[in-house]
Structure 1
Amino acid sequence: MRKAILKTERNTNILLSLKKLDYLTRSQLQVLHNLGGERNAQKVLKELSPYVECFRDGENVYYLNAAGRSIVGGKPRAKTLQARHFIMRNSLYIAFGQPETWKSETRLKVNKQVSVVADAIFYDEEGTLNIVEVDHTQTMAKNAKKLEKYTKLLELGVFKSSPRFIWITMTEYRRKKIKELSAGMHSHVFTAAEFN
């Protein structure tokens, strides 16, 4: 009986992670839920097949289907190239210790002056606001425009203290460009390769 309860709890927690983070790779689910080796992880995820959909993008990528959403809620998702954007964001979520304060797709705004949607925000142990930005297929012009909006928010004194900007991008070249664009801001820029 206890084993069945633990299994149900583990499966529900996996579904809740998919609700919160939208798309997760097998390896990300292994880390988040201590699923052990690849064979065990595949076995566990196969048991969840009535509640999740899966597609290949280097490795299996999972998201909730209608049956899974009926159990834990969540937004409808589909197989999409945009999934890589979510997977990159989720790499940061895992790397920063799965912050409890993590909120995805958060709008920061000052009415009629400036509005920007951060890919995610969270507060660290010191209470510092961390703003996460994912540069997957974005043009540098769009990144520059987004940074202008953040600069405007800083100038308007929206933040109690200076936030830390955390970027994840695809290449070393793009990392260099983002560092140039965000000069003068408290920022860290990672490449996706650092998390794989």
Structure 2
Amino acid sequence: MKQAIKKEQRHEAILSSLAKLDYLTRSQLQALHNLGSARNASRVMKSLEPYVTKFLDGEAVYYLTKEGRERTGAKKVRKRTIQARHFIMRNDLYIALGCPKNWRNEVKLVVKDVVSIVADALFVKDGRYYIIEVDNQQKMSVNKAKITKYRKMVELGVFKTEPRFVWITTTEYKRKRLLELCKGLDAKVYLASEFH
């Protein structure tokens, strides 16, 4: 009886994670839910059919089916897509930063009619904003425009404490370029390869 309850709680926790984070790799699920070996993680995820489905992108990538969305109350329909890599990179940061409880994805920040921007994610820790940005296949001109908007928000005194900008990107060249663009801001840039 206890075993069945524990199994059900684990299933609910996994489905909730997928509802919140959209796409999760097998290794991310192992890290988030202590699933042990790759073989055990795959077995646990197989037992969650028909609520989850997967595709391969280096490793298994899981997301909710229609039944999974209905069970969790998730509204967004996710499909197999190349954009999933963007979500996976963002989730690597979510895990690396300790799974902040107040983490929110796709947050629109608006300062009257002056500046408007959508952060890939953000959370607050000790009264300080952490703004998450993912650069998977984005043009550097788009990143530059975003950084300019963030700089404007800092100059306007939008944040009580200077925010920390946390980026994840794909190449050493892009990391150096982002750090140059963020000069004067509190910014940290990770490479996606650091997490795998």
TM tier relative to shorter chain: over 0.9
Within a 5 Å distance, the mapping from 1:97-136 to structure 2 comes to 97-124=98-125, 126-136=126-136
Paired residues in the alignment total 195
1:40-92 deviation digits (Å, cap 9, x = unpaired): 10100000121011000000000001000111011111111000000000000
TM-score for the superposition, normalised by structure 2:
0.98
Secondary structure, counterpart of 1:118 in structure 2: strand
**Which amino acid in structure 2 is aligned with residue 91 of structure 1?**
D
1:26-48 deviation digits (Å, cap 9, x = unpaired): 00000000001111101000001
Give the CA RMSD over aligned residues: 0.7
* Separation of aligned partners in 1, 2:106 and 2:62: 19
* Separation of aligned partners in 1, 2:12 and 2:67: 12
Secondary structure, counterpart of 2:188 in structure 1: strand
| Structure 2 residue aligned with 1:37 | 37
1:150-185 deviation digits (Å, cap 9, x = unpaired): 011111111011000000000000000000111110
| Structure 2 residue aligned with 1:176 | 176
* Separation of aligned partners in 1, 2:186 and 2:89: 21
* Separation of aligned partners in 2, 1:133 and 1:36: 30
Secondary structure, counterpart of 1:90 in structure 2: helix
TM-score for the superposition, normalised by structure 1:
0.98
Percent identity for Structure 1 against Structure 2: 56
1:88-129 deviation digits (Å, cap 9, x = unpaired): 0000000011011111110111121110000010122x3321
* Separation of aligned partners in 2, 1:53 and 1:107: 30
Secondary structure, counterpart of 1:120 in structure 2: strand
* Separation of aligned partners in 2, 1:55 and 1:73: 22
**Which amino acid in structure 1 is aligned with residue 154 of structure 2?**
L
| Structure 2 residue aligned with 1:23 | 23
CA contact (8 A) 1:89 1:134 kept: yes
Within a 5 Å distance, the mapping from 1:36-115 to structure 2 comes to 36-74=36-74, 75-115=76-116
CA contact (8 A) 1:109 1:153 kept: no
Deviation of the 1:149 alpha carbon: 0.7
* Separation of aligned partners in 2, 1:148 and 1:35: 42
Gaps of 5+ in 1: none
Gaps of 5+ in 2: none
* Separation of aligned partners in 2, 1:194 and 1:136: 14
* Separation of aligned partners in 1, 2:39 and 2:151: 47
CA contact (8 A) 1:110 1:153 kept: yes
CA contact (8 A) 2:127 2:161 kept: no
